[in-house]
Structure formats: structure tokens, C-alpha cells
Amino acid sequence: MAAAAKKREARKSIRQPGWITLEGGFAVRPCVVQDMSSTGAKITIDDPNMLPAKLRLAFSRDARTGRNCEVVWRRGKTVGIKFVR
């Protein structure tokens, strides 16, 4: 393996319920956060096709909490997101 290979952030498996907030906080969808690192997370959602490229992930239904995210990849109901400022 090449030394230049990009090292991924350590991901912690949490399998915890989460909430995805869309459209400025008006639409909230439940999801399950499968694992998370300091830079992003892997989530599963029943209808991933409804997810826009940018969203907010929170661990409560309160739209004022959470972190801004961008979708990085999609595989079936599983979606990879990265945290953005």
C-alpha cells in the first residue's frame, strides 16, 4: 500500500436515530446514523431520492440543532455525508 494513500478518519459505529432537516427547517425526515467521524457520517433513510445535495443532520427533532452536510455518495438507502461549515 502506498504511503501517499489517503488515510480516512476513524469512524465510530453508533447506529443512533437522527433527523434530516430540509428546506430551511420545514421538512424533517427520520434517519439512522450508522457511523460517524469528525468529518462526516453514513446514514440510512427510507427515501434517499428525496435528499438534496445539502441538508442538516441533527440528533433531535429541533431544527436549530445539528450540522450542515453535503451528500458525498449514495448506495440504495445508505448515504454518505460530509460535514460542512
Residues 6+ apart with CB under 8 A from 83: 38, 39, 40, 41, 67, 68, 69
The stretch 47-59 carries a mean pLDDT of 90
Residue 9 pLDDT more than 70? no
* Residue 39 or 11, more confident: 39
Predicted pLDDT of residue 3: 44
Residues 6+ apart with CB under 8 A from 4: none
The total number of residues written for the chain in this structure:
85
What is the model's pTM?
0.81
CATH superfamily entry for domain 12-83: predicted glycosyltransferase like domains (2.40.10.220)
Q: Where are the domains of the chain?
A: 12-83
* Residue 2 or 76, more confident: 76
Q: Half-sphere exposure of 1 toward its Cβ, with a 13 Å CA cutoff?
A: 3
